[in-house]
């Protein structure tokens, strides 16, 4: 016992002389075992919009010398309807499904929602982290995901260096992804008109996009109870960045009504003129992210802010706060709050005007419009006597669009044109060791 | 706040001894070593959130790489 105490004291003295920090005891003891972090999430939007069930498993194995292997698997199943981009109209509207097989109809006065979506996504990732020389840490990873119309392959590499008795860590990382898009029915020619059922003459085959991400970060220990992080990130996407399923209504510039059309005799098809959207084939984003984490006598406050700007004209601000409040020794409750606001993309417009030259780029995708979102949630956690952790989270996510009157013409003012959205997120988590 | 007062405040902040010695000694890391104080302490929750917001908003990433690998946006 006495020797043990001397040993500990010597070890502490050695560490302090070397300016290094021993790994937290919990980790050191469990070296060579698997830590599993699992989650089951149910995401449900109101009005029969998107429903998603997601299962995630994150497995971490620690080896000697601070080497860590990370494996992750996520399976998503998505169903439900999404706003197509077409405007609400005083009459029922019929659209051809993205597959070109069959139609769907939206009632008068309603925002058109395309209910064709049904997808399962499987994502796999593997990562490796290890020290490289005394103060450096190297991380590398590979990711792969596949869904019905999309395949992603990505790789990333990061290097971190500790300074100032490991109170400061500076890191730089690079990620590259190559994605293939194989839209249902083929990728439509930008700004071509939605055609009758069975007519795929305006569809091309598959397409692709590449994304390069750069991340520079600093974390700084301020004092015994406070740590901060500041990141700058740059993302450069090129290739097919259009959403192949989004459309715009071509409208009369005076009445605001969608131009009508009739399907060819003997076929079904759209009841109006709808053009497939068109986005630029490059996008550069810059983001600044700051986070402060503070221990307040047992409670932990985590506040973060992100500013993002891109060359599509979108600026966004995100503020997020979480307060983890312990209940006794083994439980906690954590209220969570997030606010998000973005400006519209330069090429966002509610509809296209008939008789005017078509712009090069146009999208009525509500996700590219001026909007605000708020998430209010609460998480509850319980640590078992064997140090496993159960958690449950319930959150409410709400989006509100800001389509100002100047963007609406004539009859478009008679109906709600922005698809505000409310969603509920239910998540269960279990962390354990094997 | 008047400009001289503001300058004095900024100087006092930047020149205070606290800033010259940001951080802690290795033996003062008891609190920071707690799992709930880790900056990436809930990776699963962060990944699920990123996935939702990536597919519903025009921004992504910031905390880590931009995310993606999803046809949802």
For A289-305, how does the pLDDT look when each residue is reduced to its tens digit (9 = 90+)? 999 999 999 999 999 99
Given the DSSP bridges, would you call strands A136-147 and A93-96 parallel, antiparallel or unpaired? unpaired
Dist CA A395 CA A398 (whole Å): 10
* pLDDT tens digits for range A226-239: 999 999 999 999 99
Residue A11 domain flag = no
What's residue B6's pLDDT?
Answer: 56
What's residue A223's pLDDT?
Answer: 97
Over range A381-395, report the average pLDDT: 96
The count of domains in chain A is: 1
Q: Own/partner pairs for A104-112, CB < 8 Å, 24+ apart?
A: A109/A414, A109/A415, A110/A415, A111/A83, A111/A87, A111/A415, A111/A416, A111/A417, A111/A418, A111/A419, A112/A83, A112/A84, A112/A85, A112/A86, A112/A87, A112/A88
Say what percent of chain A tops pLDDT 70: 93
What's residue B71's pLDDT?
Answer: 73
Chain B: nearest CA to A91, how far in angstroms? 28
- Chain-chain contact of A156 with B51 (C-beta, under 8 angstroms): no
Confidence band of A27 (pLDDT split at 50, 70, 90): very low
Could you say which of A12, A220, A340 has the minimum Cβ distance to residue B22?
A: A220
Beta bridge partners of A62: A68
Q: Which residues of A touch B59 (CB under 8 A)?
A: 285, 287, 306, 308, 314, 316, 318, 340, 342
Q: Is A3 helix (H, G, I), strand (E, B) or coil?
A: helix
* pLDDT tens digits for range A316-343: 999 999 999 999 999 999 999 999 999 9
What's residue A403's pLDDT?
Answer: 87
Residue A159 domain flag = yes
Residue A18 domain flag = no
Tell whether the model's pLDDT for residue A252 goes beyond 90: yes
Contact assessment for residue A367 and residue B73, using Cβ atoms and an 8 Å cutoff: yes
Could you say which of A16, A152, A235 has the minimum Cβ distance to residue B26?
A: A16
Whether A167 and chain B come into contact, CB under 8 Å, resolves to: yes
Residue A210 domain flag = yes
Tell me which residue of A270, A123, A299 sits closest to A188, measured CA to CA.
A270
Residue A13 domain flag = no
Residue A308 domain flag = yes
Beta bridge partners of A290: A230, A305
- Chain-chain contact of B57 with A288 (C-beta, under 8 angstroms): no
User: When comparing pLDDT for A28 and A42, which is higher?
Assistant: A42
Dist CA A242 CA A172 (whole Å): 30
- Domain hosting A261: range is 31-433
Nearest chain A residue to B67, by CA: A213
Tell me which residue of A50, A2, A39 sits closest to A424, measured CA to CA.
A50
Other beta carbons within 10 angstroms of residue A312's beta carbon come to: 22
Instruction: Give the distance between the most distant pair of CA atoms in chain B.
Output: 55
Q: Which residues of A touch B61 (CB under 8 A)?
A: 213, 215, 233, 235, 285, 287
**Mean pLDDT, chain A, as a whole number?**
92
CATH of the domain at A425: 2.40.160.40
What's residue A404's pLDDT?
Answer: 79
Q: Which range, of A139-153, A321-335, B51-65, averages the lowest pLDDT?
A: B51-65
Q: Which residues of A touch B70 (CB under 8 A)?
A: 121, 145, 147, 150, 152
ipTM of the complex: 0.89
Residue A223 domain flag = yes
Residue A227 domain flag = yes
* pLDDT tens digits for range A82-137: 999 999 999 999 999 999 999 999 999 999 999 988 899 999 999 999 999 899 99
Tokens 């669009």 -> residue: A401
């Amino acid at each position: 016992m006495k020797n043990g105490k001397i040993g500990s004291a010597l070890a502490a003295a050695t560490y302090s002389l070397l300016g290094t920090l021993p790994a937290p005891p919990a980790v050191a003891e469990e070296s060579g075992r698997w830590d599993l972090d699992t989650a089951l999430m149910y995401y449900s939007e109101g009005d029969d919009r998107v429903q998603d069930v997601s299962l995630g498993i994150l497995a971490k194995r620690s080896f000697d010398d601070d080497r860590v292997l990370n494996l992750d698997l996520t399976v998503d199943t998505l169903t439900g309807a999404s706003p197509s981009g077409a405007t609400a109209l005083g009459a029922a509207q019929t659209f051809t499904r993205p597959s070109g097989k069959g139609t769907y109809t939206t009632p008068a006065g309603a925002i058109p929602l395309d209910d064709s979506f049904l997808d399962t996504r499987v994502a796999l990732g593997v990562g490796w982290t290890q020290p490289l020389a005394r103060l450096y840490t190297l991380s590398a990873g590979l990711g792969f995901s596949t869904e019905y119309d999309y395949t992603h392959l990505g790789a990333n590499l990061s290097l971190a260096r500790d300074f100032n008795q490991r109170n400061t860590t500076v890191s730089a990382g690079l990620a590259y992804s190559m994605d293939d898009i194989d839209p249902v029915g083929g990728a439509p020619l930008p700004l071509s008109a939605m055609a009758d059922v069975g007519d795929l003459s305006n569809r091309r085959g598959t397409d692709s996009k590449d994304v390069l991400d750069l991340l520079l970060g600093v974390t700084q220990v301020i004092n015994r109870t406070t740590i901060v992080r500041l990141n700058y990130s740059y993302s450069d996407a090129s290739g097919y960045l259009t959403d192949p399923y989004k459309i715009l209504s071509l409208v009369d510039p005076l009445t605001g009504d969608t131009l009508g059309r009739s399907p060819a005799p003997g076929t079904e098809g759209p009841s109006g003129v709808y053009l497939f959207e068109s986005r630029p084939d490059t996008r550069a984003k810059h983001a600044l992210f700051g986070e402060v984490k503070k221990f307040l006598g047992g409670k932990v406050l985590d506040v973060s802010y992100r500013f993002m700007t891109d060359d599509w004209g979108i600026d966004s601000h995100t503020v997020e706060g979480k307060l983890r409040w312990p209940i006794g020794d083994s439980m906690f409750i954590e209220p969570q709050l997030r606010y998000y606001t973005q400006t519209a993309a330069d090429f966002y417009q509610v509809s296209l005007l008939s008789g005017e030259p078509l712009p090069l780029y146009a999208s009525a995708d509500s996700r590219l419009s001026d909007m605000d979102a708020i998430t209010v949630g609460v998480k509850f956690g319980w640590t078992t006597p064997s140090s496993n952790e159960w958690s449950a989270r319930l959150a409410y996510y709400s989006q509100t669009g800001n389509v100002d009157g100047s963007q609406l013409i004539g009859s478009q003012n008679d109906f709600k044109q922005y698809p505000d959205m409310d969603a509920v997120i239910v998540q269960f988590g279990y962390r354990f060791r094997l | 706040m008047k400009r001289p007062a503001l300058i004095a405040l900024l100087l006092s902040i930047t020149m205070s001894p606290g800033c010259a010695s940001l951080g802690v000694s290795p033996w003062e890391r008891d609190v920071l070593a707690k799992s709930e104080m880790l900056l990436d302490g809930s990776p699963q929750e962060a990944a699920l959130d990123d996935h939702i917001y990536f597919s519903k908003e025009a921004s992504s990433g910031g905390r880590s790489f931009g995310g993606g690998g999803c046809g949802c946006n």
